[in-house]
Structure 1
Amino acid sequence: MSIQFHERKKKWVVTWRNPWTGKKHTQGFDDETSAVAFETAQAEIAAKERALLRKARRQKASQSRISVKDLLESYFRLAHSNPVTIRQAQYHASHVLSAFGHRLAGQLNRQDILNFSEAQHLRGIAQITVNRRVGILRAALNWAVRNGLLAANPLHDLRLPHARARRIAPPTAKEARAILEVAAPHVQRVVILGLCAGPRIGPSELFRLEWRDVDLATAMLRMPSAQKNHLEDGRDIPIRSDLLPILRVWWRHDSTLDIRHVISWGGRPVRSICRAWHTALERANINRRIRPYDLRHAFATYALAGSADIGSVASLMGHVDASMILNTYQHVQSAQKRAAVEAAPDILGLASREKRVPGI
């Protein structure tokens, strides 16, 4: 940057170069004072622009170095606050990390994801689960772009095959009784409470239930609610009259041992019943897939089959939207389907038209 006086033009001329484009610029002034003031202002602007340019270059360099592992760690630490959502997402993300953790995030491509999907299929993973795992990676990449960690999402145009969740029929009455007969005591409690109260089976709800949450005098329990779109930390569930005597027996047993949690093993709260559950299925000679969570599905299914209204079932299960019951939990049985088609009145008088069949 410089100031010169041009005799021919009778002008003071300021010359400077744009740090972004590298182009040279000039501007003339009638007096030296104005030229000096302009030069000073342009020098300050140029200094700020050069600082921004250096920052942009450093950012671009860091963008090219961020790994998938570092990206996902930052994404879970900064983009999420719900611990339940984080735990679920981290489980699925662990499979992505096994495949791409060491790779640079910006260098992933469509073929990488197709190879990952194929490898998952070979291990028996359903397409809907593959989509969820890839979806977590793509969400993290989008978040990185929004926050300046990546210049672009390399998977922005990726399209995966549409997949539907595989519905697992809840345990039948016969299967539930068979499991209850052979299960370990703590699993028996899970079966009974799962079928009678419809909680989420796991550490988000049922395994957090303590005896202080159970009021045997008023036949009401306060089920801790999973942190999924809930404004309250629990919901009130009436205790069935046939369940009350069983709960009293459990309470007397646990209170003598100073056990706080309703579901416990060896006096301690449990985090998982996976192994004990599969052992119970084997002992009950049940070969098809049934998950502990399907007890919750069974609660909704059989409550609706018993003419319970959808709104009450949704409230008991902790759903804000009652449509979740119809879309997810009602496994309609053959008898219910037959009852549905027989429920409508015979407005055509078909029963009296035995001799002439319409439509022939």
Structure 2
Amino acid sequence: MSVHQKKDGRWFVRYREKGTGNLKDEYFGRGIEAERRARARNDELDLRPWVHRTPKQQSPFFVDIVNAYTEAKLGRMQPSSIKNFVWKMKGVVVPAIGEEFQAIKITPAKLDAYVKKRLSAGVKRTTIHREITDIKAVLNWSVRRGYLTHNPAIGFEPPKRDDEIIMPPTIDELNRIAAHSPPHLLRAISLSYYTGLRPGGELYAITWADLDCSIPAVLVRSAKKHGRPSRMIPIHPEFIGQLIRWYHEDIDEGFGDDMAVINFRGAPVLSLKKAFATAKRKAGITRRLRPYDFRHAFATYLLQNNADLKSTSEMLGHTRTDTTTRIYQHTSVDMHAAAIKLLPALRLDHKKISNKHGE
């Protein structure tokens, strides 16, 4: 008797109990940690050495190492960090590398292909940089634990980060993109610009029932950004008429007040990336812009025009005004230039200063 693995991946030790001679299977779960425990138990029972009936894989699968790494980090990392790591690995990295890809084969050439694939999907270099850093961390850890003899990706340099500041769209750019936007995108970018809603959980969730044109204001529920659970944002006077026209369009289509304002022929909208990229290209805009930058425009133009910081922060859903200033005020060179002009000028007469010192 010795160590075995079932078809479902579970490792177990099969042996006969001393005294009774009854056959017993002792299970240890799945993955590389389970295999290690099964082998240790095999040695403890002084059973015969385990001989592979099939050729042994050169190394564990990368997904197995990720699982072991995650288990080892429980209690050592913040729960939120573990949650983000698991989401990133299980949702992005492992599917891109392959569910049954051996960790020892994650070479620089494999990572080059990974980076190329992610870039072609429109992922930011900064995001890819973090993913490569996590992959290398898992591989380094697996070497220290003895799961790998060496890190096959040693020396690989991730792509440079692209954390550059993206200036919000100008009014001209806003109008050009709007002119080439399909109806659902036009609604989305207009509502985001006039209210500062976050594209995604906030923007897509707004229904006609959340709009009150008699106040006029829109009720915004939290996008789970650690901010207020809900907030009311006044509607710009120039925007009210357009909202009313869109409302009647949806009513004529047979939709009720529970219909999302941002909808595509009555269906919920989950992403704007493709439509936005097309409208941006048709508008002749080549610089980097994202749907999120319409929210940036809302904040930046308010602050540029001396809007109250606390009110702006509350409409953005921030709990602290320093969050608003940190994220948005630095995006405008004009604001810095205006601030500099407030600095009192000195009267510097170089001739008088030189004569005073006898020079």
* TM class, shorter-length: 0.5 to 0.7
* 2:204 maps to 1:207: yes
User: CA distance change for structure 1 residues 241 and 270 in 2, over 3 Å: closer, same or farther?
Assistant: same
CA contact (8 A) 2:119 2:125 kept: no
Q: Which residue of 2 aligns with 1:349?
A: 347
User: CA distance change for structure 1 residues 208 and 135 in 2, over 3 Å: closer, same or farther?
Assistant: farther
3-state SS of paired residue (2:163): coil
Matches within 5 A, 1:216-255: 216-230=213-227, 232=229, 234-255=230-251
Q: CA deviation at 1:173?
A: 0.7
The Cα offsets for residues 115-142 of structure 1, whole Å up to 9 and x where unpaired, read as: 5786579869654222322355578889
CA contact (8 A) 1:170 1:294 kept: yes
Q: CA deviation at 1:206?
A: 0.5
CA contact (8 A) 2:218 2:234 kept: yes
Matches within 5 A, 1:313-324: 313-324=312-323
Q: Which residue of 1 aligns with 2:309?
A: 310
Q: Which residue of 2 aligns with 1:102?
A: 100
Q: CA deviation at 1:342?
A: 0.7
Structure 1 counterpart of 2:265, which letter? G
Counterpart Cα distance in 2 of 1:92 and 1:51: 29
Of 196, 199, 202 in structure 2, the residue corresponding to residue 198 of structure 1 is: 196
Counterpart Cα distance in 1 of 2:268 and 2:86: 19
Q: CA deviation at 1:154?
A: 7.2
CA contact (8 A) 1:99 1:116 kept: no
The Cα offsets for residues 74-124 of structure 1, whole Å up to 9 and x where unpaired, read as: 999xx9899x96997369724x5323542355x588968975786579869
CA contact (8 A) 2:124 2:162 kept: no
The Cα offsets for residues 268-310 of structure 1, whole Å up to 9 and x where unpaired, read as: 2211222221222233222222211111111121111111243
Structure 2 counterpart of 1:305, which letter? Q
Larger radius of gyration: 1
TM-score (norm 2): 0.63
The Cα offsets for residues 187-229 of structure 1, whole Å up to 9 and x where unpaired, read as: 1111211111111112x22011111111222222122322233
Counterpart Cα distance in 2 of 1:173 and 1:209: 24
Matches within 5 A, 1:19-98: 57-58=37-38, 67-69=61-63, 89=88, 93-94=92-93, 96-98=94-96
Structure 2 counterpart of 1:258, which letter? F
Counterpart Cα distance in 1 of 2:309 and 2:141: 38
Q: Which residue of 2 aligns with 1:172?
A: 170
CA contact (8 A) 1:236 1:316 kept: yes
Counterpart Cα distance in 2 of 1:71 and 1:130: 20
TM-score (norm 1): 0.63
Q: CA deviation at 1:338?
A: 2.2
Counterpart Cα distance in 1 of 2:97 and 2:220: 39
Q: CA deviation at 1:172?
A: 0.4
User: CA distance change for structure 1 residues 244 and 91 in 2, over 3 Å: closer, same or farther?
Assistant: farther
Q: Which residue of 1 aligns with 2:268?
A: 269
Q: Which residue of 1 aligns with 2:3?
A: none
Which stretch has the larger CA shift, 320-329 or 276-285? 320-329
Counterpart Cα distance in 2 of 1:125 and 1:180: 24
Q: Which residue of 1 aligns with 2:130?
A: 132
Counterpart Cα distance in 1 of 2:133 and 2:268: 33
The Cα offsets for residues 48-73 of structure 1, whole Å up to 9 and x where unpaired, read as: xx999x99722879xx9863335668
Which stretch has the larger CA shift, 126-135 or 111-120? 111-120
User: CA distance change for structure 1 residues 286 and 154 in 2, over 3 Å: closer, same or farther?
Assistant: same
The Cα offsets for residues 302-342 of structure 1, whole Å up to 9 and x where unpaired, read as: 11111124333332222334333333333543432321211
Q: Which residue of 1 aligns with 2:14?
A: none
Q: Which residue of 2 aligns with 1:186?
A: 184
Counterpart Cα distance in 2 of 1:275 and 1:165: 22
Structure 1 counterpart of 2:191, which letter? L
CA contact (8 A) 2:65 2:138 kept: yes
User: CA distance change for structure 1 residues 321 and 102 in 2, over 3 Å: closer, same or farther?
Assistant: farther
CA contact (8 A) 2:69 2:141 kept: yes
Q: Which residue of 2 aligns with 1:16?
A: none
Q: Which runs of 5+ in 1 are unaligned?
A: 1-49
Structure 2 counterpart of 1:269, which letter? P
RMSD over aligned CA atoms reads 4.9
Number of aligned residue pairs? 300
3-state SS of paired residue (2:275): helix
Structure 2 counterpart of 1:167, which letter? I
